[in-house]
A and B are shown apart, each in its own frame.
Chain A
Amino acid sequence: MSELRLLTPEIVLTVCMLGIFLSGLAIRSKGMLGLMTIAAAGVTAYLVPSASGTAFEGMFVADAYSSFFKLLFMLTLFLAVLLAIGSRTIREEYATEYYCLLMLASIGMMFMASANDLIILYVGLELMSLSVYVLTGFQRESRWSNEAAMKYLLLGTFATAILLFGIAMVYVLTGSTSIAAVALYVMTGGNTDPVLGIALLAIIIAFGFKIAAVPFHMWAPDAYQGAPTPVTAFMSVGPKAAAFAAFGRVLVEGFGAAWAEWAPAVTILVVLTVAGGNLLALRQDNVKRMFAYSSVAHAGYMLLGVLAGTIAGMQAVMTYLAIYAFMNMGVFTVMLMLENGEERSAYAGLAKRQPLLAGAMLIFLFSLTGIPPAGGFVGKLQVFLAAVDAGQTVLVVVAVIFSVVSAFYYLRLVGTMFMRESEDSVSCSASKTLLFAVILTAFFVLLLGIFPSLVLVG
């Protein structure tokens, strides 16, 4: 029983989820149910730091690493609920199911962050992925949403199958699915085995799919564009952070001693992702699609921290993810507030029409580019420093060059907002909740940029 104490945050969130699911019978107000979800996220976040240790014969581990990610997931859940309350695409009639799916996905992510066994990792990943597939197709009257969900489901299932294949190969070699057993096997000289290479390749490909790294990013632009914008905001942050949490645990902790074996594959991923994401984003007319490619590129920068293969590298990734959560959620909130926010023309002359919104967007875009004092700069700096310390100077130079390229498409949007006159008046959502979300995220992006010590892990 005492082992269950470690799982208190997960259990509390599950019970709250079921409670909200049932209360959906009586309560049909999106705002009320949203507040209940936020309360559930708050209680869970409060309980997270007190859990520490391992449970279920070492399969489940609660440590500082998993706690950080769980707090990040609760933050994402909180912001996603705010977006849902303010959005018109999430209809009042389906609010209960929407919040339940968000919470189910968050529970899956929490298990992924705490998984010290590949079976837990796999079941957590499935729980998260299945919920997000449904969320992608949430707007069922929209054909775009249907198509996006279908593509995401098929390619995502393919990726999980490949992950399962890799896990099976690991089991073949070690006779165990525990990450600790993998680490022991690799350290005692098993790292030259060709089967280990196959297992590593399968695992890297599967996680490459989940974090949308080039060349496994094909689903991302369509899924991001077709999904309702509140869902896009959630899925560009939460599942990506969860995949990085699990990826880091498996590669750095499990296969840490076999760094030389997996580094080449990850290096190729980093170069292709940073180059591909940024170059493809340049050519997008649709703003939502552009940010989909931009989040592909950001996964590339973060992979650089994983590639370092050190604790410092993973700490840099965690810092990056925390800042990324605020800036990416912020961008999608602004997009949600503008009517036709996916079109570039909606941003023309925004600075004159909505100075507050334009200012917030400016902060997010500067942060995404990596211009100080916005938070994104701190994240990039940390990741690049960790990679240089690990001897990846050439790759860092490549990443910096493409980060300069990214300035072009981010700042082009800034130009549209500040330089161009609006042709016709584009209306803007009057939702106070969305405005609150924008101000909150913009404030934190700035705060973390000026006082990075708040979020620097280590």
Chain B
Amino acid sequence: MLPEFFFGYFACAILGLAMLTVTRKNLVHSVLWMLLLFLHIACLYLFLNAEFLAVIQVIVYAGAILVLFLFLVMLLNLREEHEARRFVKAWQGRLAVCILLLTVIVISVYKAAVQPTGGYSITFINEMGHTKVLGTVLFNQYVLPFLMTALVLFVPMVAAIVLAMKERKR
């Protein structure tokens, strides 16, 4: 009973917070509501015994991406939402897109392979521990994409030199 109660709380809170995030006119408020939203989603991951994902959710989304948002809002000095003429004003269109996306997600959730294929069964993951298994997979099976990410991260460093550094003179 108690888990259901907590799950219900988090589910409703996520919906409510998402609505608040989207509807606020003040961008800083919007971002702060989003922070709360991400923390609630992290708690939801804990229900799935995905403690690593929960921590990542807090560190990456709440810690890094939201700070980036706040920086951007402050940099552009956007206290109020900028009133501009929109190409599509009709709310019907937006609703249609939302419903379409929801349908796709619902269908795919039903289609999802319940039991993951390969050696990493649910019992195995429970025995080993979520984080340990994730590390094993990442540094063995997926080590090549992991290393390639290093190169991807190298690009913004070069980009910062090219696009943002003070003009270089010979």
Neighbouring B residues of A137 by C-beta, 8 Å: 163
In the complex, what residue of chain A is closest to B149 when comparing beta carbons? A123
Task: For chain B, residues 140 to 170, give those with C-beta under 8 angstroms from any C-beta of chain A.
Answer: 141-145, 148-149, 151-152, 154-156, 158-159, 161-163, 168-170
Write the nearest CB–CB distance from B81 to chain A, whole angstroms.
Answer: 19
Check: B96 CB closer than 8 A to any chain A CB. no
> Is B148 a contact of A176 with CB atoms below 8 Å?
no
Neighbouring A residues of B158 by C-beta, 8 Å: 21, 97, 100-101, 104, 134
Check: B116 CB closer than 8 A to any chain A CB. yes
Measured between alpha carbons, how far is A132 from B151 in the docked complex, in Å? 14
Check: B107 CB closer than 8 A to any chain A CB. yes
> Is A127 a contact of B155 with CB atoms below 8 Å?
yes
Write the nearest CB–CB distance from B113 to chain A, whole angstroms.
Answer: 4
Task: For chain A, residues 115 to 159, give those with C-beta under 8 angstroms from any C-beta of chain B.
Answer: 117, 119-120, 123-124, 126-127, 130-131, 134, 137-138, 140
Pick the residue among B104, B112, B118, B155 that contacts A131 (CB under 8 A).
Answer: B155
Check: B117 CB closer than 8 A to any chain A CB. yes
| 14 pairs from A and B in contact (CB 8 Å cutoff) | A14-B151, A59-B145, A92-B170, A93-B169, A93-B170, A101-B155, A104-B154, A123-B145, A127-B148, A140-B162, A173-B111, A174-B117, A175-B118, A195-B111
Neighbouring B residues of A120 by C-beta, 8 Å: 144-145, 148
Check: A207 CB closer than 8 A to any chain B CB. no
Measured between alpha carbons, how far is A306 from B169 in the docked complex, in Å? 48
Pick the residue among B116, B144, B162 that contacts A56 (CB under 8 A).
Answer: B144
B interface residues with partner A (beta carbon < 8 Å):
104, 107-108, 111-113, 116-118, 141-145, 148-149, 151-152, 154-156, 158-159, 161-163, 168-170
Neighbouring A residues of B151 by C-beta, 8 Å: 14, 104, 107-108, 127
In the complex, what residue of chain B is closest to A117 when comparing beta carbons? B145
Task: For chain A, residues 171 to 213, give those with C-beta under 8 angstroms from any C-beta of chain B.
Answer: 172-176, 193-195, 198
Measured between alpha carbons, how far is A57 from B162 in the docked complex, in Å? 38
Check: A432 CB closer than 8 A to any chain B CB. no
Neighbouring B residues of A134 by C-beta, 8 Å: 155, 158-159, 162-163
Given the contacts A56-B143, A130-B156, A134-B155, A93 and B168 also touching, CB distance less than 8 Å: yes
> Is A195 a contact of B107 with CB atoms below 8 Å?
yes
Measured between alpha carbons, how far is A117 from B144 in the docked complex, in Å? 11
Interface code A221-247, partner B: CB below 8 Å = 1, 0 otherwise? 000000000000000000000000000
Measured between alpha carbons, how far is A195 from B113 in the docked complex, in Å? 12
> Is A175 a contact of B156 with CB atoms below 8 Å?
no
Write the nearest CB–CB distance from B36 to chain A, whole angstroms.
Answer: 25
Neighbouring B residues of A131 by C-beta, 8 Å: 155
Measured between alpha carbons, how far is A241 from B116 in the docked complex, in Å? 35
Neighbouring B residues of A172 by C-beta, 8 Å: 108, 111-113
Check: A60 CB closer than 8 A to any chain B CB. yes
> Is B162 a contact of A138 with CB atoms below 8 Å?
yes
Check: A377 CB closer than 8 A to any chain B CB. no
Measured between alpha carbons, how far is A111 from B170 in the docked complex, in Å? 36
> Is B162 a contact of A97 with CB atoms below 8 Å?
yes
Check: A94 CB closer than 8 A to any chain B CB. yes
- Which residue, of B113, B149, B162, has the highest number of chain A Cβ atoms within 10 A? B162
In the complex, what residue of chain B is closest to A21 when comparing beta carbons? B158
